[in-house]
Amino acid sequence: MSEDDFPEVRERQLRVLEALLFASDKPVHAADLAPYVGEGANVRQLLLELQKRYAPRGVNLVRRGEGWAFRTAEDLGHLLRREQAETRPLTRASLETLAIIAYHQPVTRAEIEEVRGVAAGKGTLDLLLETGWVRMRGRRRTPGRPVTYGTTEAFLDHFGLEALTDLPGLDDLKGAGLLSGRLPPDMQIPLPFTGELREDEDALDPDDPGEGEDVE
């Protein structure tokens, strides 16, 4: 028998997922929801059904990386936009660094500096880490084993992206006036690496000191 043979069970599972997602202020992974809906339940299928039910409503169920969350419908966002108090507003340097990390990840501090053409202050990276939009991914398998940086699901959630592949492309950036129209014809926007670790990366140990200290 399939789950469809017990509609009352399926409805309860949907209600449980609905309640858990509404109660969370950040995206929740399907694996973290599974224990609440019963053994053997197809959580992904349930989430897709719940997403379909909410599609025409003022609140939609959206995917952010591997997580799921309820968010205001995109066409109504301007009515309910929350004003967030920033105790430390992002500087131009921080925004540029964030953009480089988003498009070039996994990327080291030296590689960020190479793209920007100026030194990347530790305070800039610290600020981005504090926002929760950037994380230390691992260590590059090169001399000094520098830390590699990447974005988080919180970054996807804040900017309304389901995945890194939804980042604006070259034409979108030009249309938004963020890039000059007089660009080299062969210029390409890099594709960010979307996996957990690349072949040239090692995972961070729990006691890894992180940025600022090389590992022999």
* Domain identity same for 70 and 100: no
* Domain identity same for 101 and 191: yes
Residue 44 within any structural domain of the chain: yes
* Domain identity same for 70 and 103: no
Whether the predicted pLDDT of 2 surpasses 60: no
- Strands across the sheet with 147-151, in order? 107-108, 147-151, 134-140, 201-203
Rounded to whole angstroms, how far apart are CA atoms 20 and 59? 15
* Domain identity same for 110 and 38: no
Which residue range is the domain that position 139 belongs to? Answer: 92-203
* Domain identity same for 177 and 130: yes
Q: What is the CATH number of the domain that holds 193?
A: 1.10.10.10
Phi, psi (rounded to 5 degrees) for 53: -65, -35
**Greatest pairwise CA separation for the chain in angstroms:** 63
Is the entire prediction scored with pTM above 0.75?
no
Range in 36-50, 94-108, 128-142, 176-190 the model is least confident about: 176-190
Domain count, the chain: 2
Domain boundary among 24, 39, 74: 74
pLDDT at position 172 is 63
Confidence bin at 7 (pLDDT 50/70/90): confident
Residue at token pair 């169920």:
61
- The answer to whether the CB of 13 falls within 8 A of the CB of 38 is yes
* Domain identity same for 173 and 134: yes
* Domain identity same for 192 and 99: yes
Residue 195 within any structural domain of the chain: yes
Q: Give CB contacts under 8 A, 24+ apart, made by 43-50.
A: 43/17, 46/10, 46/13, 46/14, 46/17, 47/17, 49/14, 50/14, 50/17, 50/18, 50/21
Average pLDDT over residues 57-70: 92
* Domain identity same for 171 and 106: yes
- 107-128 residue pLDDT tens: 999 999 888 888 777 788 988 9
